[in-house]
Chains A and B, each alone.
Chain A
Amino acid sequence: MEEWRGWRKIRYESELDPAFASEIASIPQGEKLFSCIQCGTCSGMCPISPYMDYTPRQIIAMIRAGFKGDVLGSYTTWLCASCYSCAVECPKDIKLTDIMYAAKRLAIREGIYPKRFPIPVLANEFYKNVEGSGRNSEGRLILRLFLKTNPFKLFKQTSLGLKLLMRGRFSLKRESIKRTDELHRMLKVLEKVHMVKSKDELARMKEVAS
């Protein structure tokens, strides 16, 4: 009897975050999400939607209704491989892929994401990799990903690693640009800047969109 509770969560209005939609909509062209007609073209086009906990169409509806915790904590946004199928087919020209990115960024910033799920771990490691040296070192990235999420997987992948090594396609060398100091100065300026639109601006955009 308890089972049904698992597949449908009931949220009361007091649990919703009315500002969530505006937060997501503050990316360039993000306000278009208010014009969604819930046709489901995005979910139909998405090659990964069968594996998602909420379909892309549901994600838009949930963002608009203020289901912040559920959206940011979902697997959906992270499973999005950004193939842009939804974005090019949307009849209302909603850039859903960019909305997924906005949700991922907010989830990281607020620390609400499935913690041991490999995809956000990969994103974080990739980010650190590039932040430090300006380039991504593929071999090291994969190694760190497996160590952090599922060390057992390393053994499973040994034969693949060896095959790549034999063909000169795998190395643990740390890749780096020469002028890293230049890069660090540049990125430091952007540390605290987020693209957030003012409330008035958002209210105006929302009106135009709907």
Chain B
Amino acid sequence: MNYAYYPGCSLKSTGRAYEESMLSVFEALEIPIEELSDWNCCGATAYMSISELKAFALSARNFALAEQQFKGSNDVNLVVPCAACYLGLNKARRYLAEHLEIKETVDGALKQAGLHYSGHVHIRHPLDVLLNDIGLEKITAAVKKPLTGLRVACYYGCQIVRPYAEFDNQHEPQSMDKILTALGAEVIEWPLKTRCCGGSLTGTVQEVGLRLSYILLKEAKKRGCDVVATACPLCQFNLECYQSEMLKSYGEVINVPVAYFTQLIGVGLGLSSKNLGLNRLFTPLKMPHPVKAVQGGQRVHS
């Protein structure tokens, strides 16, 4: 299997910990992966609001570059951790495959750049790769420090499973739950796994975005989670960085750590916190004390 890594803009700035932890986990599991050279913006959300064809062309340039970088192999797996990029690229790939008129126009544009895309690129989310290519068995075998007792709220966000359910259930996704359970964590039941966090609204129209993120955190906290695990840099940013704003607006102390699922896997694999970017979190991730007993639904720590 060929894996090319597509970072997108967030994983190089606000979401650096996602990049660091994902690459460390891939290395620990001996999955070869190399960054797509000279990648460009995927053309997602904000760009799509101005020009759709150009957004598809931007995606297509990435596909063409991936095929070039892995010349001679039939299929290239583009590993895309950012949910917005994942959907943006996936949408473009589907439109190019299904709508001939779009494919022709985009091909014409690629030609101007001396590029060609022949349709052999697959868009893969790291959740998909870890669960379906690597498998729980291999991950379990590599566990050094099980996440025993850590109560995790798995938050998938919207764009990984919607509108295309490529590898997981649209209403009740399970991939992250399965991986983190295999690492020994206790996954909490909560119904907001794929509810919108507000996306870029938190930065633009804060009163709307903030409330959406607040609802998620409040419900997760109510169910006694120690950490919210995310799979998208924007979700992570919204849920983690505005907790002090939430205190101001809603008068409630949230103080829940929000980590990337790859960081939690890394902790389970015994990787160093520097390699996982744990120092970049606002609220430090604390491993729970071992549970001595459960009395009346409450955990008693030793």
Interface residues of A (CB under 8 A from B): 27-28, 47-48, 51, 79, 81-85, 87-88, 95, 97, 101, 104-105, 108, 118-120, 122-124, 126-127, 130, 134-139, 142, 145, 159-160, 163-164, 167-171, 175, 177-179, 182-183, 185-190, 193-195
Question: B17's closest neighbor in chain A, by CB?
Answer: A169
- Residue in A84, A127, A138, A167 whose beta carbon sits within 8 Å of that of B9 in the complex: A138
- List chain A residues, Cβ under 8 A from B52: 27, 101, 105, 195
Contact A127–B38 (Cβ < 8 Å): no
Contact A160–B241 (Cβ < 8 Å): yes
**Most chain B beta-carbon neighbours within 10 Å: one of A28, A130, A170:** A130
Q: How far is the CA of A79 from the CA of B54 in the complex (A)?
A: 22
Q: How far is the CA of A85 from the CA of B194 in the complex (A)?
A: 9
Q: How far is the CA of A186 from the CA of B110 in the complex (A)?
A: 6
Contact B9–A175 (Cβ < 8 Å): yes
Q: Mark B144-163, 1 if CB is under 8 A from A, else 0.
A: 00000000000000110011
Q: Which one, B94-102, B217-225, B287-295, is touching chain A?
A: B94-102
Contact A177–B203 (Cβ < 8 Å): no
Question: B13's closest neighbor in chain A, by CB?
Answer: A138
If A84-B163, A170-B14, A186-B110 touch, whether A127 touches B102 (CB-CB below 8 Å) is: no
Q: Which one, B39-47, B119-127, B183-191, B260-268, is touching chain A?
A: B39-47
Contact A28–B95 (Cβ < 8 Å): yes
Contact B280–A122 (Cβ < 8 Å): no
A-B pairs under 8 A by CB, number:
171
- Residue in B102, B108, B199, B244 whose beta carbon sits within 8 Å of that of A83 in the complex: B199
12 extra A-B contacts, CB within 8 A, seeds A47-B212, A123-B50, A193-B105? A48-B212, A82-B199, A84-B162, A101-B49, A118-B205, A124-B50, A130-B47, A135-B41, A169-B17, A177-B39, A185-B112, A187-B57
